Amino acid sequence: MSRRSKSNSNKKNQLTTYAIAFVLTIIILAAGKAYLSSQAKHFASLNDISIADIQENGTSLSGNKYRIKGEISERMILSNQRGLLVSIISDVEGKELGTIPVHIPPGIDRINIERGHSYTFKIEVNREGLPVAMDIQAE
């Protein structure tokens, strides 16, 4: 009686296991890349607000939601726990450069806001024409 060697079937099982692990790794990496790419587009459904619009007719924009991307140039803590007031140097491509004041109410400032760092803000313009942060994402 001849015996069949088990080493060939073990090698085939190991090769199949390695191939499945490799394919699953590729799928997981692709899904992670897609997720991170979608996270990079903070508040993509909102329009960018221009500095000229805020300066010329800020009160007519009240109640509307926009996106502001830029770097913090100044940061001031407001008294009586009313939050922060920051000046943002807008870095929207194709638009004029300048600073936009944004009020960050208490509860929204759950991330550390630092000067010189870039952030994306989801804002709503209040009755007085001042942008008020609704959400913040660090760049």
Per-run averaged pLDDT (10 residues), the chain, 139 residues: 62 86 92 68 76 80 88 88 87 68 83 87 90 88
* pLDDT attached to residue 24: 93
Query: Is the CATH number 3.40.50.300 carried by domain 51-138?
Result: no
Res 131: pLDDT: 92
3-state secondary structure string across the chain? CCCCCCHHHHHHHHHHHHHHHHHHHHHHHHHHHHHHHHHHCCCCCCCECCHHHHHHHCHHHCCCEEEEEEEEEEEEECCCCCCEEEEEEECCCCCCCCEEEEEECCCCCCCCCCCCCEEEEEEEECCCCCEEEEEEEEC
pTM (2 d.p.): 0.65
